[in-house]
Amino acid sequence: MQLDMSPYLRQNFVMPSEAAPHDACWISWPSREDLWGRRLSQVRREHELVARTISRFEAVFVVCRPEHAAEVLHRCGPDVQVWCAPIDDSWMRDSGPTFVVGDRGGLAVANWGFNAWGEKYRPFAADAALKRTMAEALGLPLVTTRLVTEGGALLSDGQGTILTTESCLLNPNRNPGLTRSEVEQELLAVLGAQRVVWLPGDSGEVETDGHVDCLASIVAPGRVLVEDPSTAVGRRREVLEENRRALRLARDARGRSFEIIDLPAAPRIDAADERHQPSYVNFYIANGAVIMPGHGIPADDEARAVVAAAFPDREVIQLQLRALPYGGGNIHCITQQQPSRLAGLLPLVSHRQG
């Protein structure tokens, strides 16, 4: 199918809020055996659970290697569609598209450079090419950028404000030679924003160097959910205090201070594994629902109640995912929303398997 790209290119693109309506959710199937080891089977069951749950609220596409297509189709069921492509890893938030929408109804993909979180894992060439692979198949233009980053490093309020972290985007393993000002200007241009709010992040976090999506989530413009430092211990408490302080001092693109909504801090359940990254704030906002992590502890109920109060118009579903945090992330990290724009133009049906 040949599409005329000119209507897309004659408009301004912005990164919408995650709470805006979606056409679909994209998930990658776990493939990196050296990451998951003996937990690979369990983490695939957890990806299946996430995919099936989100499919109750919006279309779900699972991207997998061709050799895994039959397994994914069998396990995830008829409400989840399979989309085959070369992939190295299963963190769709980071290697997959960051979709931006146009003021005339178009949709495009921000083509960030991807280097596996500072070349922590190899190979990563297939994941580095995934945004282009998907954009070409969907008939969407790429917004060119020189920045190396990941979707988990970026949150948008849909009104011109981007939240990110210094520990990730200013890390020499991502963008050596670029100043803070240069990184900021690139973010503003690609995402159609007016202000970047810089949080310190977490320079000691070993997988992502402190993605913002394990520290905060934007509920609505001016309202942000964060984990409460007073409920954390050790280094995590210090990290949360620093980020909370920065958020309190910041203003959004419209000059508003942020209302901070406190969640209990998720505990480090396995202190012996430094990759283990539990979180309550790393949830997925679906059409009419919030799909959030649980950890099988009493604090789960309190965390769910806080999220439910923050999203009174959405059903809150808490999933107990024991293996996923061992990869360094959770539900938000394995998902990527496709905003609702020009749904009838996107040739999604042609990429269904089976």
What HEC string does 276-302 produce? CCCCCCCCEEECCEEEEEECCCCHHHH
Mean pLDDT of 167-189: 96
In a domain, 2, yes or no: no
In contact, 291 and 319? CB cutoff 8 Å:
yes
* Local confidence band at 9 (pLDDT 50, 70, 90 cut-offs): low
Mean pLDDT of 150-155: 98
Number of domains present in the structure of the chain: 1
Q: In sequence order, what are the beta bridge partners of 27?
A: 62, 335
Q: Is the pLDDT of residue 87 over 50?
A: yes
Amino acid making up residue 267: P
Mean pLDDT of 107-133: 96
The percent of residues above 70 in pLDDT, for the chain, comes to 92
The percent of residues above 90 in pLDDT, for the chain, comes to 83
Q: Is the pLDDT of residue 344 over 90?
A: no
Sign, CA dihedral 129-131-136-137, equals positive
Angle between helices 40-54 and 69-76 (to 10 degrees): 60
pLDDT for res 89: 96
First vs last C-alpha separation in the chain? 20
Catalytic residue from among 25, 64, 76, 333: 333
Token pair, residue 157, equals: 């309020």
pLDDT for res 5: 53
In a domain, 315, yes or no: yes
In contact, 86 and 123? CB cutoff 8 Å:
no
Q: Is the pLDDT of residue 217 over 70?
A: yes
**Mean pLDDT, the chain, whole residue set:** 91
In total, the chain counts a number of residues equal to: 354
Token pair, residue 6, equals: 């000119």
CATH number at residue 13: 3.75.10.10
SS3 12: coil
In a domain, 323, yes or no: yes
Phi, psi (deg, nearest 5) at residue 71? -65, -45
In a domain, 40, yes or no: yes
How many of the other CB atoms lie within 10 Å of CB of 219? 20
Which of 335, 352, 329 lies closest to 120 in space, CA to CA? 329
Q: Is the pLDDT of residue 343 over 80?
A: no
pLDDT for res 6: 52
Range from 2-11, 66-75, 267-276 that averages highest in pLDDT: 66-75
Whole-number Å distance between alpha carbons of 130 and 109: 11
Q: Is the pLDDT of residue 3 over 90?
A: no
Q: What is the pLDDT of residues 296-342, one digit of tens each?
A: 889 999 999 999 999 999 999 999 999 999 999 999 999 999 999 74
pLDDT for res 350: 29
In a domain, 166, yes or no: yes
Q: Is the pLDDT of residue 352 over 70?
A: no
Which of 216, 270, 281 lies closest to 242 in space, CA to CA? 216
Q: Is the pLDDT of residue 346 over 60?
A: no
In contact, 135 and 351? CB cutoff 8 Å:
no
Q: For residue 97, how many C-alpha atoms fall within 13 Å in the half-sphere facing its CB?
A: 28
pLDDT for res 19: 96
Q: Is the pLDDT of residue 349 over 50?
A: no
pLDDT for res 269: 63
Mean pLDDT of 259-271: 85
Higher-scoring residue by pLDDT: 152, 272: 152
pLDDT for res 278: 81
Lowest mean pLDDT, pick from 2-6, 139-143, 285-289, 325-329: 2-6
Whole-number Å distance between alpha carbons of 34 and 26: 23
Q: Is the pLDDT of residue 239 over 50?
A: yes
Establish whether 333 is a catalytic residue. Answer: yes
Range of 140's domain?
A: 9-351
In a domain, 4, yes or no: no
- Element counts in the chain: helices (H) and strands (E): 11, 17
pTM, full prediction: 0.93
Q: Write the DSSP string, 119-183.
A: HTSS--HHHHHHHHHHHHHHT--EEEEEEE--GGG-EE-SSSEEEEEHHHHT-TTT-TT--HHHH
Q: Is the pLDDT of residue 1 over 50?
A: no
pLDDT for res 277: 74
In contact, 153 and 110? CB cutoff 8 Å:
no
* Local confidence band at 257 (pLDDT 50, 70, 90 cut-offs): very high
